Amino acid sequence: MAAGGPLLYDLCFWLESRFGVTATVLLGTQGWNYPAWVGPFYPLGTRQADWLGTYTRAFSTVEVDSTFYAVPTEPVVAAWRARAPDGFLFSLKIPQEITHERRLTDCEPLLTRFCRRAAILGPALGPLMIQLSPDFRPAQATHETLGGFLAVLPQGYRWAIEFRHPEWLTQGTLEALRAHNVALVLADSRWIRRGVILDLALEPTADFAYVRWIGPNRRFTDYSRVQADRDYEMGLWATALEGLSRRVKTVFGYFNNQYQGHAPHSVRTMQQYLGQAPVEPVTLREQAELF
C-alpha cells in the first residue's frame, strides 16, 4: 500500500477482509551459521558451506546479521544468491557504522554503496533493516536527523526500521514512516513492552510488515534445543499476524535463538499456528541421504 493515512488503511482492511485477501507470511531465522544446529536441524555431517543451501529447503527467508558489522564483498553476496532457490529472500541489516557510529548523519555514500552491494541479490533481496541503538533517544535534533535520513533513503528498496527506545513510538513517528513507506519493525524484545508492539501491528506504516522475535534477555548459550516455553506469546503473535496480514502485502518474520533457545523450532511452531506446513528436520536428513 502506498502511504495514505489511517482512512486508506481502514478501507484496504475492509476490502481485504471482504474478499479474503491476505498477505504472504514469510518466516525464517536471524542468521544460519550456527554449529549447534548440526544434528537438531542440519543433518549430521552437513558441511558449513552447505548450511545455507540446506536452510533454504526448510525456510523461505533469512535475516542476515553479518551485514550489520560490515558491508559484504561482492563475491559473498553473489555466493548467497547462487545458493538460494527462486523465491527465497534475504533481509539485510544495514551497517552499524550508519546507525550506531554516524547516527544517521553524513552517511549517504556508505548507504549508497551498501544498497548497490545488496542489489547483487536481485530478486532474492528482501527488506533492508535499520536497527537504531537504545541510546538514540527522541529529541528535536534526533527527530530532524531521522526525518532527513528517511528523505534520502534510496528508492526501489523495502526499508524497515527498529527503534529500541519506547518514546519513539508516537503517532508522529508512525506518520513519518508511513510517508516514506518504511515499515516499523515489530520486535518482541526487552526494549519495548510486547503489548505496545502488538497494538502497533494494527497500524502498519508500509505495504509490508517486519517482525523480529528476539526475547527478553541473552541468557541462552546452547542453541541446539528449546529452553523456554513461549506458547502463550506465540498465540498472541499468531492472532496479531492474522490481523496484520489483512493490512499489508507481505509479512517478514525472523526468530532469534535467544527467543526459545533454538530458532528453527520457533519458526516451525509459528508456522503451525498460522496453518503453514513446516519442513521437519527429518525431511532434510532424508533429502541429504539422496545425494
Alpha helices, DSSP H, located in the chain:
6-19, 51-55, 74-83, 96, 108-118, 140-151, 171-179, 194-200, 231-244, 257-260, 263-273, 281-289
Model pLDDT for residues 129-153, shown as the tens digit of each residue: 999 999 999 999 999 999 999 999 9
Give the mean model confidence (pLDDT) for residues 62-77: 98
> What domains sit in the chain, N to C, each tagged with a CATH number?
6-289 (3.20.20.410)
Q: For 153-193, how does the pLDDT look when each residue is reduced to its tens digit (9 = 90+)?
A: 999 999 999 999 999 999 999 999 999 999 999 999 999 99
Note the pLDDT tens digit of each residue in 104-113.
999 999 999 9
Q: What is the mean pLDDT of residues 276-290?
A: 85
pLDDT at 15 over 90: no
The residue among 102, 54, 70, 99 whose CA lies nearest residue 281 is 54
In the structure, what pLDDT confidence band is assigned to residue 290 with cuts at 50, 70 and 90? low
Distance from chain centroid for Cα 186: 9
Per-residue model confidence (pLDDT) at position 287:
76
Q: What pTM was computed for the model?
A: 0.92
What is the per-residue pLDDT for 22? 79
Interval 215-231: pLDDT, tens: 998 899 999 999 999 99
Give residue 1's pLDDT band: very low, low, confident or very high (50, 70, 90).
very low
SS (HEC) of 83-103 = HCCCCCEEEEECCHHHHHHCC
Task: Kindly tell me if the per-residue pLDDT of 124 is higher than 70.
Answer: yes
Q: What's the 3-state SS for 121-171?
A: HHHHEEEEEEECCCCCCCCHHHHHHHHHHHHCCCCCCCEEEECCCHHHCCH
Q: Which residue has the cell 494494527?
A: 202
pLDDT tens digits, 245-256: 999 999 999 999
Q: Report the range of poorest mean pLDDT among 159-168, 193-202, 280-289.
A: 280-289
Q: How is residue 240 written as a grid cell?
A: 496479531
For the residues 65-91, what does the mean pLDDT come to?
97
pLDDT band at 288 (very low <50, low <70, confident <90, very high): low
Contact between 98 and 108 (Cβ < 8 Å):
no
Q: Can you say whether residue 229 is alpha, beta or left, with left for phi > 0 and alpha for psi between -120 and 50 degrees?
A: beta
Average pLDDT, the chain: 92
**159: amino acid identity, one letter:** W
Q: Which is more confidently placed, 278 or 21? A: 278
Q: Are strands 183-189 and 208-215 parallel, antiparallel or unpaired?
A: parallel
